[in-house]
Amino acid sequence: MVLTEQQVMVTGGAGFIGSHLCERLIERGEDVLCVDNFFTGSRSNVRPLLINPRFEMLRHDVTIPLYVEVDRIFNLACPASPVHYQFDPVQTTKTSVHGAINMLGLAKRTKARILQASTSEVYGDPVVHPQVESYWGNVNPIGLRACYDEGKRCAETLFFDYHRQHGVEIKVARIFNTYGPRMHPQDGRVVSNFIMQALRGEDITIYGDGQQTRSFCYVDDLVEALIRLMDTPAGITGPMNLGNPGEFSMLELAEQVIRLTGSRSQIIHMPLPADDPKQRRPDISYAKSTIDWQPTVPLEEGLKRTIAYFRGLLESGQA
Ligand code: NAD
Ligand code: UDP
Ligand code: UDP
Flag whether 259 is in a domain: no
Position 4 scores a pLDDT of: 53
Query: Do 32 and 26 form a contact (C-beta atoms < 8 A)?
Result: yes
- For the chain, list residues with pLDDT below 50: 1-3
Please indicate whether residue 103, judged by its CB atom, sits closer than 6 Å to ligand 2: no
In DSSP terms, 241 is beta-bridged to 174
Q: List, in sequence order, the alpha helices (H) in 207-249.
A: 219-230
How many A from CA of 260 to the centre of ligand 2? 49
Of 72, 94, 78, nearest to 10 by C-alpha is 72
Flag whether 173 is in a domain: yes
Residue 165 CB contacts under 8 Å (≥ 6 apart), including other chains: none
pTM above 0.90, yes or no: yes
Flag whether 210 is in a domain: no
Helix/strand/coil for 168: coil
In DSSP terms, 9 is beta-bridged to 33, 73
Whole-angstrom distance, CA of residue 209 vs CA of residue 200: 23
What number does the ligand 2 atom closest to the CA of 110 have? 8
How many A from CA of 295 to the centre of ligand 1? 21
- How do the residues of the chain divide into helix, strand and coil, expressed in percent and rounded to 5? 40, 20, 40
Told to judge if 148 belongs to the known catalytic residues of this protein, a careful annotator would answer yes
Number of domains in the chain: 1
Task: Quote the radius of gyration of the chain (alpha carbons, Å).
Answer: 19
Q: Which amino acid is at 238?
A: G
Q: Could you list the residue range(s) of the whole structural domain that residue 230 is in?
A: 7-179+216-245+281-296
Identify which ligand lies nearest to the alpha carbon of 148: 1
Position 57 scores a pLDDT of: 98
What number does the ligand 1 atom closest to the CA of 184 have? 3
How many A from CA of 112 to the centre of ligand 2? 13
How many A from CA of 77 to the centre of ligand 1? 5
| Ligand 3 pocket residues where CB is under 6 Å | 81-82, 177, 189-190, 193, 205-207, 212, 214, 250, 272-273, 276
Whole-angstrom distance, CA of residue 211 vs CA of residue 237: 35
Position 1 scores a pLDDT of: 46
Flag whether 75 is in a domain: yes
Whole-angstrom distance, CA of residue 164 vs CA of residue 181: 38
Query: Do 34 and 48 form a contact (C-beta atoms < 8 A)?
Result: no
Q: List, in sequence order, the alpha helices (H) in 65-145.
A: 82-85, 89-110
8-state DSSP, 222 = H
Pocket test for ligand 3, best of 203, 207, 215 (most atoms within 8 A of CB): 207
Flag whether 115 is in a domain: yes
Q: What is the CATH number of the domain that holds 221?
A: 3.40.50.720
Query: Do 254 and 283 form a contact (C-beta atoms < 8 A)?
Result: no
Flag whether 269 is in a domain: no
Of 87, 29, 94, nearest to 64 by C-alpha is 94
Give the H/E segment covering residue 195. Answer: helix 190-200
Position 5 scores a pLDDT of: 67
| ipTM of this complex | 0.98
| Ligand 1 pocket residues where CB is under 6 Å | 11-12, 14-18, 36-41, 61-63, 76-80, 95, 99, 117, 119, 175, 177-178
For ligand 3, atom 6: residue with the closest CA: 190
Flag whether 250 is in a domain: no
**Other beta carbons less than 10 A from residue 1's beta carbon:** 5
Of 54, 46, 70, nearest to 1 by C-alpha is 54
